[in-house]
Amino acid sequence: MPKTSSSVTAAPDTTWLGHGRHLGPEPEKDVRRNLIALKSAGLIDDFLDLAPDDSSPAGVGGRAGPPDPFASDDDAAVPAPTARRLFEARWRVDDEVTVRAQLTTYDAPGRRRGGSAVAAVPWVIAAEAERPWDLDWLSPATVFWPDSDLTLWDHDVVPGPRLRSPHRLTADDDKDLRRLLRNCTRSSWNIHVVVHEAMTPDARGLESLTRHLPPGLRHRVVEHRATPEQFDIVNWAIKDLHVRVPRGGAVVLPSTPPVPGYDADRFAVRSVFLDGSEPAELVERITEFASLPRPLTAEAEQAVEQLRRRWHLLTVEEELARTRELVTKYADALDAMTKSRDLYREAAELAQAALAERGESAPLRGHLSVPAPHAPSAAHAPSAPPAPPAPPAPRPEGSALTATLTNAFGRFRDASRKKGD
């Protein structure tokens, strides 16, 4: 169930989140090759290639820690049933900050494995550092995916735009353009920027402006390009978003739900020179927008939970700490079982003794008799009806047994509760 704007959770500032679609035939092979190359070059510490429902390595490299028998599937943030493969990688930035990241690929309806690609493969990346994320750090996208134009991994979840090249807005249908930009703000985690060309740029001006962004932003920004003739059309298309692109300028589109602190005028740039030079003002606005609290969608929240609670690529020190924790859990469980067994045995023995005592006293009650009263003669017969008989006296033997059983099992129950607390 989607969250309302009043209940939206902000993404942790220690995380890097990205998603997209791979249009090639073998996305997992592209990831595997890139991870092997980066590990061989010493750019990452280690990686794992896993089946989504597996807790042990299913490919090359890495180690997985021992499974936790006390963890349930609900506690493990299990990937969605459509997950194809799960990759983990660990590396260090600034020589001391550890980054842990997961990439999950998913099945898409209509795609035939082993055959021609008829649909893109969705992917999600969640990375987290030991301190707030620095945009100058290595992009998690290029840890898993090769930074090459030959690999088609950089398509946005909204069909059409790409992450590393400008997306040329078409004028075939104004309504389609409006629907496209609206879907980009609603469905995509990426930052979408609309740039209007004051005049047709040369080859240098046609290059993507995202190459001027910090590494941590290059693969989270989609650049839409409007031709000189599309000025009125594109502004009509984004009218519902309450923003406007200046002629020859650019605007950072708002997200849905709106990001706290977003101001349409603040994130509009009046002039962008498409001559190959760095658009410093636009880079500043995009970076500022990226620093605002990001709404955490349900899918993004699942990715963060999976990263934090279903992590397998442990260091030797982490494996040792995890093993010690499991040993402690086993010892505590065994101690609880032993104490519960002893308490149950004690209660059973007390109950058996009480039953035996009751069995020995039962025959004595059979020999007790109450003499029957003499029947009165007719002359002495009372005129009033006889009084009703008094209720029988309580049976002390039964009371003693009940008290014994209650005390015995009460001790067992109280001790179990104290252990549980």
For β-strands 97-106 and 83-93, DSSP reports them as antiparallel
Residue 419 pLDDT class (50, 70, 90 cuts): low
How high does pLDDT run on average in the chain?
82
pLDDT in tens, 347-378: 888 888 888 877 766 554 444 444 444 544 44
Measured CA to CA in angstroms, residue 383 lies from 30, 275, 373 at distances of 112, 130, 18
Residue 401 pLDDT class (50, 70, 90 cuts): low
Tokens (6 digits) for 350: 């007390």
Closest CA to 186 of 156, 226, 216, 217: 156
Task: Indicate whether 37 pLDDT > 70.
Answer: yes
pLDDT in tens, 141-185: 999 999 998 899 999 999 999 999 999 998 667 889 999 999 999
Q: How far apart are the first and last CA of the chain?
A: 35
Q: What is the mean pLDDT of residues 118-138?
A: 93
Task: Indicate whether 116 pLDDT > 70.
Answer: no
With pLDDT > 90 as the criterion, what percentage of the chain qualifies?
56
Could you tell me the residue ranges of all domains in the chain? 5-314, 315-358+401-421
Task: Indicate whether 381 pLDDT > 50.
Answer: no
pLDDT attached to residue 213: 97
Phi and psi angles of residue 42, each rounded to the nearest 5 degrees, phi first: 80, 15
Secondary structure of the chain as H, E, C letters: CCCCHHHCEECCCCEEEEEEEECCCCHHHHHHHHHHHHHHCCCCCEEEEECCCCCCCCCCCCCECCCCCCCCCHHHCCCCCCEEEEEEEEEEECCCEEEEEEEEEECCCCCCCCCCCCCCEEEEEEEEECCCCCCCCCCHHHHHCCCCCCCCCCECCCCCCECCCCEECCCCCHHHHHHHHHHHHHHCCCEEEEEECCCCCCCCCCCCHHHHCCHHHHCCEEEEEECHHHHHHHHHHCHHHCCCCCCCCEEECCCCCCCCCCCCCCCEECCCCCCCCCCHHHHHHHHHHHHCCCEECHHHHHHHHHHHHCCCECCHHHHHHHHHHHHHHHHHHHHHHHHHHHHHHHHHHHHHHHHHHHHHHHHHHHHCCCCCCCCCCCCCCCCCCCCCCCCCCCCHHHHHHHHHHHHHHHHHHHHHHHHHC
pLDDT attached to residue 18: 97
Q: What is the mean pLDDT of residues 31-38?
A: 98
Task: Indicate whether 389 pLDDT > 90.
Answer: no
Q: What is the mean pLDDT of residues 3-29?
A: 84
For β-strands 46-50 and 83-93, DSSP reports them as antiparallel
pLDDT attached to residue 117: 44
More reliable by pLDDT, 234 or 259: 234
Task: Indicate whether 1 pLDDT > 60.
Answer: no
